[in-house]
Chain A
Amino acid sequence: MLSLLIFLPLLAAVPILLLPAGREQEIKRLATAAAAAPVLLVALMWPGLGAGGPGFLYEVRVPWVPSLGIEYHLGVDGISFPLVALSALVFLVAVLASYGIRERVKEYFALVLVLEAAVMGVFTALDYVLFYLFFELVLVPMYFLIAIWGGPRREYAAIKFIIYTMAGSLLMLIGILALYFHTGANTFSIPEIARRAPELVPPSWRLWVFLALFAGFAVKVPVWPLHTWLPDAHVEAPTPISVILAALLLKMGTYGLVRITHPTLPEAAREFAAALAVLGVVNIIYGALAAMAQRDFKKLVAYSSVSHMGYVLLGLAAGTAAAVNGAVFQMVAHGLISAMLFLLVGVFYDRTHTREMERLHGMYLATPTAGVILAFAGLANLGLPALPGFVAEFFTLQGVMQVGTGFFTRIAYVTVIGIVFTAAFNLLMMHRVLMGRPREEFAALPDATPRELATLVPLMAASLLLGVWPAVIMRMTNGPVSEFIRILGGA
């Protein structure tokens, strides 16, 4: 099942490349089918997840390089499966949103499908080498997708993105090798090493190995101050790629923390918890403030991602059941919400050819349906109840409070400043873009097309479902998260 998730898109890329470039219709159809298949697979797998206890499901385990203990090892649990499901949905949406691509259509869709395979691989791999392979493989299509189909400064953005993430990955590789040699069991299995590492990694090494791994993931999250690649990459990337970048690629960083650093090096994670909490709060507040200062619609959404990812860091740092569940939930919630927002930025950009919010006012009147959806997404981003962002933030901070130490209580008090500024910049965005009357040249814009609605409505529906009934996801996450907390030592 899981291998299909990875290889179906990868294989579908081959016939797409073989088709003559002129037959765009077939290429698009084929790509859509290839992106729809994982959604179907996820739906089939969903019941199997049940109330996901600890341990992995749908495991595949085949020796790959036996002499080094490298295996082709896949599996999902309650933490990774929601992200797999999110990936399937977001890629389908992204492919649908890509119908407007005009240049080198063939290569574009092939690269998107390769990207999907790599992302799926990251979220399902249970072997360090495999994980690292997919983690790096993500960069390749991403680089080209930004550098070829991007905006005017695309090369700068793409190179910045690649250098940043490569630098982080290298440190991560060092960390992985350190783990491999210290545990000395001739295995790269993630759960296996996690079982042995606490005893076998010498205490003096723990924090360094942790920091090396953390560096790799921190760039992806992105943790302040390593975040400046994000706004550039987002602004230059074409809309569907921004969607993937925000909804999924950032999650790879926090997923790495949940899957690898924390369970493998719990002592170091405990030592680092206070620093991680502070970084989380800095992300939240700094991101919100920076978002408020933006005039560019897309940059605002990008900085809002920085802010929202801070909750995940904060939740992991707190390490209580509510906080970690909230953090995992936030990954999915932010995936849905940021995807909607980037799609909407694209919807308005396609019509007005500007992202300057000052010039966009009055869109409520010009494009009522798109306006309402933007209001929905903006309010979701703001953390309005009955939408998933609220659930995630509420329980994350509830969990932070539950830690009970003066330090974390103070952290919670400071974080709420971020909540106020988050409300401020989202309201400001809605105020600027939606309210008032449109400029004359924008008065007769076409409203959202059925294809655009097809990309947005599923995300809205999923948001509403998760906001009202978060148990859909948290039912799965609770088991593995409890295990996670047990390993962390209940700190």
Chain B
Amino acid sequence: MPEAGVPVGYFFAVSTLLFSLGVFGALRRTNPVAILMSIELMLNAVNINFVAFSRHLGAADPVRGPMFAIFVITVAAAEVSLGLAIVLALLRRRRSADVNEFDALKG
């Protein structure tokens, strides 16, 4: 269904920017809450892509793309609640929320 409107490249530009911001944040920030937020950014970049592609490719079933996005949003919400719970647990235990202080995964 090729339609006039915003070209699909613009959506990519936005989602790429969002994703890169998310990656940078997830890698650089030391506050776990900020990291979670950055991950949200990355997921939302993906969501934009889903929706944009769905529209751009004119899928037979126009709901499928947005459907994925809704799923991702749901899972992300659950994930964040879990993540925040972990952060709270960490805060209680270690009186700190700096990720650099957690290296229990060390080999």
A touches B (Cβ under 8 A): no
